[in-house]
Amino acid sequence: MAVQIPFATVSQLKEAGIVEDAFLTGLLKQCQISENKPAWLQAVRQQAAAWVARLRVPTTKDEEWRFTDLSSLVATDFVRGTPVQVENIASIPEASQTRLVFVNGVYSPQLSDLAALPEGVYAGNLNQLPQKYSIEEYFAKHQDTGDIFTYLNTAGCEDVAVVWVDKNVILETPIHLVFVAATEDKASFSQPRTLVVAETGADLSLVEEYSGTGVYFTNAVTEIWVGENAGVKHTRLQQESEASFHIGKTAVTQARDSRYTINEINLGGRLSRHNPEILQQGEQTETHLHGLTIVSGEQLADTHSIVALTKPYGTTNQLHKCIVGDRDCKERTSRAHAVFNGKIFVPKEAQLTNAAQLNRNLLLSPKARINTKPELQITADNVKCSHGATVSQLEADEIFYLRSRGLSEDDARHLLIDAFAKEIIECIPVESLQEKITQIALGKTQ
Amino acid sequence: MSEVILSVRNLTASVDGAPILKGVNLEIKAGEVHAIMGRNGSGKSTLSKAIAGHPDYEVTGGEIIYKGENILEKEPNERALDGIFLAFQYPIEIPGVSNLDFLRVAYNAKRKHQGLEEVDAFDFEDLVEEKLEIVKMKSSFLERSLNEGFSGGEKKRNEILQMALLDPTLTILDEIDSGLDIDALKIVAEGVNQLKTPDKAYLVITHYQRLLNYIEPDFVHVMQDGRIITSGGKELALELESRGYDFLDEQALAEVGA
C-alpha cells in the first residue's frame, strides 16, 4: 500500500445548499462525451465530473492561491477551441521527426512527424494506442491533491498525448510534445492531457511546449510514471501568448532507483500557474527540479511545487529562479509578479534522505513583485535538508563596472540577467532550446 | 609640445550629498605618468570614479576636459569607448559571466565604436592568448567566471589584461597595488610598462610609494581633503614615504603660519 502523504489538499468542498460553480460547469458542459470512448475513460471522467460539481474555483482566501487572483479568468467567457489551420509550428532540430502536435487540444497528424521513432516506443494519441498498453492502470492514477483544475481536465478529457517507452529502451532523441492554442474571434479554452510511461530501465528526454496567439485558457495536465531504475529528463517550456491564461499540473510518480529531472521555463501568459507534484514511491529515487520564470509587463507567473519523499535514500534538489520586471533600463513601469511556493515532505519513512531547495529572485523594476515561500515539512530524524530564498536586484556597481568597459547600460543589464538565467538554461539537455530561451530571456525575440 | 590628454579644472564632486572633491586641478599630457598619493579618504578614488563617470559620484562644479572635449555629460560607456580606462581598486565579481565572453563583448563594443568589424570567438581567443603573456596569466583564467574566486593579484592582473585588449588613451590605475605581494606587484607593473607608449597618458593612484619604484611617475601630486595640496617630481613620493603623511599637516600649518 502506498504511504499516505500529507499533501496540503486544497479543500474547497462547497457548503451544503450552495449551487454549482457556474464557471466550471460552463466549461465542462462544452466538453463532449463521445460514445465510442472506452468504458474505463467514461468511468474516470464521471468520477472527476462528480468532484467538479462539488468544488469551486479557488480565491485568494485559499492558502494555495493567496497571491494568484483568478477573478480575471473567471470573468472571461471561453468557448471550447475548435480545430483550426495552423502553420509554422516551432520545431527543434534535435526532435524534428519525433514530434507530436496538438492544436486546441486536438491531435494534428499533419503537423506531427514521428518518422524517427525507434522500436519499443509509442508516441501518439489515445485513439491509435495499441491494445497491449494498459493505459487504464496509469491514467488519472497519480496522487490526488484535490486540485479542481486537474479534475476539470480529467472530467472533460477527449484525447491524450501518450508517450510509452518499453522496458530497457534508451531513447537517444528527445520527444517533442507541442500544444498550440489558436483563437479566431472568441476567447477559447483547451485541456491538453499527456501521459508518459517509462518502463523499468527505460530512459528518455521529453520536451513539452505550450504556445499560442490571442486570448485563451489552457488547462493542462501531464502525468509521468518513471519505472524502476528508469530515467526521465523533462523540459517544460511555457510560452503562451501574453493575453492568455495557463494552468498546468505535472504529476510524477517515481518507482525505486529512478531518476527524474524537470526543467520548467515559464515565459508567457497573462496569468500562469504550474504545479509540479512529484511522489517518490521507492527507495533511492532521485529528483531534480530546475525552474526559470521570466515575466515582464503585467504578467503573473506562479509555481507551486510539491516533492514527497516516502522511502529511504531518496534525494531531491530544487533550484527555482525568477526574473521579474523590465529588462531595459528606460522602462520602469512593469508590475510583473512571480510567486513561488515549494513544499518538500520528508515523513518518518524517508530516513537517510537528502533534500535541498533554493529559490532565487531578481527584481528589475520598482513595481515588480515576488512572493516566495520555501517550505520543508520533516518528521524523519536522520536526514539532510536545506532550503532558502533570496531576492535581489541588479547591483549598480556591477553595471558600472561593465559600462566602464564600454558596454551600454542595456547591454550591461542583459549580460547580468543572462548570467542569472544561465544556471537554469544550461540544465536543458537540448542545445537549440538553450539558445532559443536565452534569446527570449533577453527580450530579443518576444 | 605634447597634446593635453586630460585637464581637470576646479572639479567639485559629492557622494550622497557629502562634498568629497573640493576643487581639483590637474593636467596630463601625452606620454606622461602622473601619480596621486594621499591618505585614505582624501578623495583619490572619488576623482578616478568621477573621471570614469560613476553615476553615484555627482559632479557639482568644474570641468573634465578629455582630448579637448568636456565629457561631463557623457555616459560611462561613452567615456570608455573614447579611450578612458579605469582599473578598479576592487574589481567586481560577476558569477555566470565567463571571463572570455566578457572580454570579447568589451573588445567588440570598442571595435564597433571604431567602425571595425566584430571579431568572432575563434579569432578573439587567439588574440587574447597573446595578451595573456603580458600579465603572465594561464588560459584557464579565461574559462572562469569574471573575477569570481580570483585572488587579489589575479583580479588586478585581469584588469591589466582588459587594459591590454582595450588599448586606452588615458589609463587610471586606482590603487592597483593595494594588497598585492611583491611578485604580483611586479607582474602588474611590468604589464603596465610594456603597454606604455608616448601617445598615452597615465594616472596612477596609490597610497604607497612602493608602486612608484616600478611604475615611474613624471609628476607626483598629493591629495588632502578633496584638493591637490602639493605637486612635484618623483622625489616627492620618497619624501612622503620617509616622513609619512603627517608632514603634510606640518607643512599646512607652516603655510598658515607664513
Q: Which of B71, B92, B114 to mutate to test the interface with A (most CBs of A within 10 A)?
A: B92
- Mean pLDDT across the stretch B34-49? 94
Instruction: Collapse the DSSP code of B70 into the 3-class scheme (helix H, G, I; strand E, B; otherwise coil) and give the result.
Output: strand
Work out the pLDDT band at A86, boundaries 50, 70, 90: confident
Rounded Cα distance between A400 and A395, Å, is 9
Note whether A139 contacts B: Cβ–Cβ < 8 A. no
Is the confidence at residue A232, as pLDDT, over 70? yes
Are A162 and A125 in contact by the 8 Å Cβ rule? The answer is yes
C-alpha cell read off for B33: 605618468
**What pLDDT shows up at residue A10?**
43
Is the confidence at residue B247, as pLDDT, over 80? no
Rounded Cα distance between B80 and B75, Å, is 9
Cell 534508451, residue located:
A170
Work out the pLDDT band at A4, boundaries 50, 70, 90: very low
Q: Which of A321, A330, A397, A405 to mutate to test the interface with B (most CBs of B within 10 A)?
A: A405
Is the confidence at residue A422, as pLDDT, over 60? yes
- Mean pLDDT across the stretch A370-378? 93
Complex-level ipTM: 0.94
pLDDT of A104-136, one tens digit each? 988 999 999 999 999 999 999 998 999 999 999
**What pLDDT shows up at residue A337?**
97
Phi, psi of A312 (to 5 degrees): -65, 160
- Mean pLDDT across the stretch A26-52? 86
pLDDT of B150-183, one tens digit each? 999 999 999 999 999 999 999 999 999 988 889 9
* Chain B nearest-CA residue for A401: B92
Q: What is the DSSP letter of A11?
A: -
Is the confidence at residue A179, as pLDDT, over 60? yes
Is the confidence at residue A9, as pLDDT, over 80? no
Note whether B105 contacts A: Cβ–Cβ < 8 A. yes
**pLDDT above 70 coverage of chain B, percent:** 96
Contact B56 A396 (CB under 8 A): yes
Across the interface, of A396, A398, A406, the residue whose CB is closest to B109 is A406
Rounded Cα distance between B246 and B237, Å, is 14
**pLDDT above 90 coverage of chain B, percent:** 83
**What pLDDT shows up at residue A224?**
98
Pairing of strands B201-206, B170-174: parallel
Q: Domain for residue A11, yes or no?
A: no
Residue B157: which H helix or E strand, with range? Answer: helix B152-166
Across the interface, of A401, A407, A409, the residue whose CB is closest to B105 is A407
Note whether A406 contacts B: Cβ–Cβ < 8 A. yes
**What pLDDT shows up at residue A444?**
56
How many domains would you assign to chain A? 1
Cell 610609494, residue located:
B209
Q: Domain for residue A123, yes or no?
A: yes
Q: Who's near A33: CB < 8 A, 6+ residues apart? A: A42, A45
- Mean pLDDT across the stretch B218-227? 94
Rounded Cα distance between A74 and A58, Å, is 10
Note whether A404 contacts B: Cβ–Cβ < 8 A. yes
Note whether A409 contacts B: Cβ–Cβ < 8 A. yes
Work out the pLDDT band at B240, boundaries 50, 70, 90: confident
**What pLDDT shows up at residue B166?**
95
**What pLDDT shows up at residue B1?**
59
**pLDDT above 90 coverage of chain A, percent:** 80
Beta bridge partners of B221: B36, B231
**What pLDDT shows up at residue A162?**
97
Q: Domain for residue A10, yes or no?
A: no
Q: What distances in angstroms separate CA A175 from CA A98, A145, B16, one per listed residue?
A: 5, 28, 56
Q: Domain for residue A432, yes or no?
A: no
* Chain B nearest-CA residue for A420: B96
Rounded to the nearest integer, the mean pLDDT of chain B is 92
* Chain A nearest-CA residue for B101: A415
pLDDT of A268-300, one tens digit each? 999 999 999 999 999 999 999 999 999 999 999
Q: Domain for residue A224, yes or no?
A: yes
Which candidate, A183, A210, A217, A218, places its Cα nearest to that of A75? A217
- Mean pLDDT across the stretch A243-267? 98
Residue A229 backbone class (left: φ over 0; alpha: ψ -120 to 50; beta: rest): left
**What pLDDT shows up at residue A6?**
46
Domain of residue A321, residue span: 22-84+91-399
pLDDT of A190-220, one tens digit each? 999 999 999 999 999 999 999 999 999 999 9
Chain A residues near residue B76 by CB distance under 8 angstroms:
400, 403-404
Note whether B53 contacts A: Cβ–Cβ < 8 A. yes
**What pLDDT shows up at residue A365?**
93
Residue B239 belongs to a domain with what CATH number? 3.40.50.300
**What pLDDT shows up at residue B249?**
73
Domain of residue B211, residue span: 4-257
How many domains would you assign to chain B? 1
Q: Who's near B17: CB < 8 A, 6+ residues apart? A: none
Is the confidence at residue B85, as pLDDT, over 80? yes
Are B196 and B171 in contact by the 8 Å Cβ rule? The answer is no
**What pLDDT shows up at residue A366?**
93
| Strand segments (E) across A214-368 | 216-226, 231-239, 245-254, 259-266, 271-280, 286-295, 300-309, 315-324, 337-346, 354-363
Across the interface, of A400, A408, A419, the residue whose CB is closest to B96 is A419
Beta bridge partners of A371: A339
Instruction: Collapse the DSSP code of A39 into the 3-class scheme (helix H, G, I; strand E, B; otherwise coil) and give the result.
Output: helix
Chain B residues near residue A400 by CB distance under 8 angstroms:
54-56, 76
Chain B residues near residue A405 by CB distance under 8 angstroms:
80, 102, 106, 109, 162, 166
Note whether B81 contacts A: Cβ–Cβ < 8 A. yes
Work out the pLDDT band at A259, boundaries 50, 70, 90: very high
Work out the pLDDT band at A37, boundaries 50, 70, 90: confident
Residue A24: which H helix or E strand, with range? Answer: helix A22-29
Contact B80 A420 (CB under 8 A): no
Contact B105 A423 (CB under 8 A): no
Residue A385 backbone class (left: φ over 0; alpha: ψ -120 to 50; beta: rest): beta
CB pairs under 8 A between A and B: 72
**What pLDDT shows up at residue B20?**
96
**What pLDDT shows up at residue A278?**
97
Work out the pLDDT band at B248, boundaries 50, 70, 90: confident
Which of A80-94, A164-178, A317-331, B170-184 is least confident?
A80-94
- Mean pLDDT across the stretch B212-225? 94
Is the confidence at residue B136, as pLDDT, over 70? yes
